[in-house]
A and B are shown apart, each in its own frame.
Chain A
Amino acid sequence: MANLARIGSFARGARALARGLLGTATGAVDGWMGTLLGEDFNRRLARVPLSLTSQGVDPFGLDPQWTKWALASAAFLHRRYFRTEVHGAANIPTGRVLLVANHSGQIPIDGALIGAALFMDVEPPRFTRAMVEKWTQTLPFVSMLFARVGQVVGVPENAQRLLEQGEALLVFPEGARGISKTFDHRYQLTEFGLGFMRLAIETNTPIVPVAVVGGEEQYVSVGNVESLAKLLGMPSFPLIPQLLLPGGQLPLPTKYRIYFGEPMQFAGDPDDDDAVMEEKVWVVKSMIQSMLNRGVKDRKHVFW
Chain B
Amino acid sequence: MSEVGGAGSIVVTGVCGRLGKRVVRLLHREHKVIGVDRRPFPDKPKDVLHEQVDIRRKKLKDVFRHGEVKAVVHLGVMHDPRASASEHHEWNVAGFAKLLEYVQQFKVPKLVVLSSANVYGPQAGNAQFLTEDAPLLGGARFSEIRDLIEVDMLAQGFFWKHPATETVILRPVHILGTVRNAPSNFLRLPTVPTLMGFDPMIQVIHEADVVGAIASALLPGKRGIFNIAGPEPLPLSHAIRILGRATVPVPYTLGKILVRRMWSLRLTTFPAPELDHIRYVCMVDDTRARRDLEFSPARSIEETVRAVDGDRW
Contact = CB atoms under 8 A, between A and B. Distances in A.
B18 interface: no
Contacts of A157: 127-131
Contacts of A48: none
A7 B125 contact: no
A8 interface: yes
Interface in B267-313: 280-281, 300-301
B101 interface: no
Interface stretch (A28-36, A111-119, A139-147, A279-287): A139-147
Contact of B190 (A8, A63, A147): A8
Interface in B184-212: 190-191, 193, 195-201
Nearest to B238: A55
A138 B198 CA distance: 9
B246 A60 contact: no
Contacts of B127: 153, 155, 157-158, 161
Contact of A4 (B190, B201, B233): B190
A140 B196 contact: yes
Interface in A113-168: 134-135, 137-144, 147, 152-153, 155, 157-158, 161
A54 B232 contact: yes
B183 interface: no
A153 B195 contact: no
A53 interface: yes
* Secondary structure dominating the interface of A: helix
B265 interface: no
Given A8-B246, A135-B124, A54 B129 contact: no
B268 to A, nearest CB: 11
A9 interface: yes
Contacts of B196: 140-141
B154 interface: no
B41 interface: no
Contacts of A12: 246
Contacts of A55: 232, 234-235, 238, 301
B128 A60 contact: yes
Contacts of A7: 191, 248
Contacts of B129: 59, 157, 161
Contacts of B126: 153, 155
A4 B248 contact: yes
A4 B126 CA distance: 32
A215 B287 CA distance: 42
A57 interface: yes
Nearest to A7: B248
Contact of B201 (A5, A59, A138): A59
Interface residues of B, number: 33
A8 to B, nearest CB: 3
B45 interface: no
Contacts of A135: 124
B128 A161 contact: yes
Nearest to B300: A54
Nearest to A139: B197
Contacts of B252: 140
A61 interface: yes
A174 B78 CA distance: 47
A143 B201 contact: no
A55 B127 CA distance: 21
A140 B131 CA distance: 27
Interface in B157-194: 190-191, 193
Interface string A1-24: 100110111011000000000000
A5 B190 contact: yes
A200 B173 CA distance: 32
A1 B197 contact: no
Contacts of B191: 4-5, 7-8
User: Which of A8, A53, A57 has the most chain B CB within a 10 Å cutoff?
Assistant: A8
A141 B301 CA distance: 26
B247 interface: yes
B248 A8 contact: yes
Contacts of B238: 55, 57
Contacts of A53: 232-234, 301
B232 A144 contact: no
B309 to A, nearest CB: 17
A140 B197 CA distance: 4
Contacts of A144: 197-199
Given A7-B191, A144-B199, A152 B128 contact: yes
A140 B194 CA distance: 12
Interface of A: 1, 4-5, 7-9, 11-12, 53-55, 57, 59-61, 63, 134-135, 137-144, 147, 152-153, 155, 157-158, 161
8 contacts: A8-B190, A9-B246, A135-B124, A140-B197, A140-B252, A143-B198, A144-B199, A158-B128
The 8 closest A-B pairs by CB, nearest first: A140-B197, A8-B246, A8-B191, A157-B127, A141-B197, A53-B232, A137-B124, A134-B125
Interface of B: 124-131, 190-191, 193, 195-201, 232-235, 238, 246-249, 251-252, 280-281, 300-301
Given A53-B232, A140-B198, A143-B197, 11 more contacts: A7-B191, A11-B248, A55-B235, A60-B201, A63-B235, A135-B124, A139-B197, A140-B252, A153-B127, A157-B128, A158-B128
